[in-house]
């Protein structure tokens, strides 16, 4: 579904050069559930932003359904991102002056679905995430877990084939985090949505099907059954 070929990212700021990702090769297939770990500053958000098109790689290519893009603003890549991918950002990125419902239906703005159906679809999704009673509230009136649900609802509104979520349990208490993890597992198992989640949360890593780690600018597959990994987990 998505393939990264030789992706590198270098930030240049005030003549300082910072290479964050160095020659990453990686594939996401239908129905995958992949977690990406790595310490703070290792490049997890940068990697997700490159896949989501928010950040331009310094070199390398991101292919969608094997289609080689013609430049960063390639039409097919943009359409795939908009129609088949949902995004849950590290800091939610809800629009403060929009209600919950208005936030959730934002991705429908340029869709072919007539606006008169947006509200019903938005309420349906909010209902599935058990937060429909807050549809007329504004983001600042919500708890962290509720904001996370709204962010996930917005990612789901176009029934994506792939969801990218950046530390989706990072700001949540244990109980709410468990509920959100169950929700992702359900989306993957029952709705066959592929997931790419960046996380420090062991519970996500344990329930994902594959785990990678960004170390020294490179992406490495982690064998979570490895005794060394299991030992480090118990520390
Ligand atoms: N726009 C930018 N300009 C300069 N440096 C940047 C920029 N964006 C990110 N970086 C740097 O790139 C590195 C990777 O950042 P990134 O946000 O991808 O890390 P992360 O793994 O997501 O960390 P965390 O777990 O804290 O969210 C950091 O050193 C960061 O300071
Ligand atoms: Mg991050």
Give tens-digit pLDDT for 81-92.
988 999 999 888
Strands (E), the chain: 2-13, 16-28, 33-37, 59-64, 85-88, 162-166, 194-198, 210-215, 218-222
The string of pLDDT tens digits covering residues 49-82 is: 999 999 999 999 999 998 888 888 888 989 899 8
- Mean pLDDT, the chain, integer: 91
Q: Ligand 1 in contact with 38 (CB < 6 A)?
A: yes
pLDDT tens profile 149-176: 999 999 999 999 999 999 999 878 888 8
DSSP letter at 160 equals -
Report pLDDT digits (tens) over 216-232: 999 999 987 777 777 67
How does pLDDT run across 1-10, given as a tens digit for each residue?
999 999 999 9
Pocket test for ligand 1, best of 8, 39, 42 (most atoms within 8 A of CB): 42
∠195-32-122 over CA atoms, to 5°? 35
Ligand nearest to the CA of 38: 1
* pLDDT at res. 130: 86
Query: For residue 43, how far is its CA from the centre of ligand 1 (angstroms)?
Result: 6
- Residue ranges of domains in the chain: 2-233
Whole-prediction pTM: 0.91
Instruction: For residue 206, give every residue at least 6 positions away whose Cβ sits within 8 Å of its Cβ, in sequence order, or none.
Output: 224
Q: In this structure, are strands 85-88 and 162-166 parallel, antiparallel, or unpaired?
A: parallel
CA distance 103 to 74: 27
The pick from 20, 22, 37, 54 for probing ligand 1's pocket by mutation, whose C-beta has the most ligand atoms within 8 angstroms, reads 20
What is the assigned CATH class of domain 2-233? alpha beta
- Ligand 1, atom nearest to 214 Cα: 21
* Residue pair 34/222 in contact by the 8 Å Cβ criterion: no
pLDDT at 143 over 80: yes
Residue the block writes with tokens 């960046």: 198
Q: What is the pLDDT of residue 229?
A: 72
């Amino acid at each position: 579904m998505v393939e990264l070929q030789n992706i590198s990212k270098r930030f240049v700021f005030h003549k300082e050069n910072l290479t964050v990702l160095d020659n990453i090769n990686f594939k996401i297939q239908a129905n995958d559930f992949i977690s990406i770990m790595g310490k703070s500053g290792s490049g997890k958000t940068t990697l997700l932003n490159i896949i989501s098109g928010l950040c331009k790689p310094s070199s390398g290519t991101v292919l969608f359904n094997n289609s080689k893009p013609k430049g960063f603003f390639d039409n097919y890549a943009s359409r795939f991102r908009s129609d088949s991918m949902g995004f849950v950002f590290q800091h939610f990125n809800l629009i403060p002056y929009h209600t919950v419902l208005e936030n959730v239906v934002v991705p429908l703005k340029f869709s072919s679905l007539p606006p008169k159906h947006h509200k019903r679809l938005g309420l349906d999704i909010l209902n599935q995430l058990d937060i429909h009673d807050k549809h007329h509230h504004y983001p600042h009136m919500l708890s962290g877990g509720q904001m996370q649900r709204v962010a996930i609802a917005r990612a789901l509104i176009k029934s994506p084939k792939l969801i990218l979520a950046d530390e989706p349990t990072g700001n949540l208490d244990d109980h709410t985090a468990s509920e959100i993890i169950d929700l992702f597992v359900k989306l993957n198992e029952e709705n066959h949505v592929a997931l790419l989640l960046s996380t420090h949360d062991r519970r996500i890593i344990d329930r994902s099907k594959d785990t990678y780690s960004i170390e020294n600018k490179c992406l490495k597959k982690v064998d979570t059954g490895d005794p060394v990994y299991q030992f480090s987990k118990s520390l």
